[in-house]
Amino acid sequence: MDRSHRTPGLIDLQVNGYGGYDVNADDVTPETVAALTRSLWEQGVTTYLPTVITASEDKIAHSLAQIAGARRSDPLIAHSIPGVHVEGPSLAADDGPRGAHDAAQLRNPDLGELDRWQTAAEGLVRIVTLAPERPGTVEYIKGAVRRGVRISIGHCAPEQEHICDAVEAGATLSTHLGNGTYPVLPRHPNHIWAQLAQDRLSAMFIPDGHHLPADTLTAMIRAKSVARTVFTSDSAALAGMPAGQYETPVGGSVTVGDDGRLTLTGTNLLAGSGHSLRAGLNWAQQNLPFSHDELSAMVTTNPAALLGLSKRVTGGADTVDLVGTKVIATRVAGIEVHRA
pLDDT, averaged per 10 consecutive residues of the chain (340 residues), comes to 87 96 96 98 98 98 98 98 98 93 96 98 98 98 98 97 98 97 94 97 96 97 98 93 83 85 83 91 97 98 97 95 96 97
Residue 250: per-residue pLDDT: 63
Q: What is the pLDDT of residue 90?
A: 98
**Cβ atoms 48, 267 nearer than 8 A:** no
pLDDT value for 252: 79
Burial of 116 (0-12, 13-18, 19+ CB in 10 A): middle
Would you say 64 and 85 are in contact if contact means Cβ atoms under 8 Å apart? no
Beta strands in 2-147 (DSSP E): 5-8, 10-15, 17-18, 21-22, 45-53, 84-87, 125-130
Q: Any residues with CB less than 8 A from the CB of 217 and at least 6 apart, and which?
A: 178, 205, 207, 288
Is CATH 3.40.47.10 correct for 9-315? no
Q: Where do the structural domains in the chain lie, given as residue ranges?
A: 9-315
3-class DSSP state of 13: strand
Instruction: Name the pTM for this structure.
Output: 0.96
Considering just the CA atoms, what is the radius of gyration of the chain in Å? 18
Going by the DSSP 8-state scheme, the letter that residue 138 receives in this structure is: H
For helices 111-121 and 137-146, give the axis angle rounded to 10 degrees.
40
Distances (CA, A) of 328 to 201, 317, 324, 325: 35, 16, 10, 9
Sheet with 326-332, strands from edge to edge, namely 5-8, 319-323, 326-332, 335-339
Longest dimension (CA), the chain: 60
d(CA 221, CA 175): 14
Q: Where are the alpha helices (DSSP H) in 261-325?
A: 277-287, 292-299, 301-307, 311-314
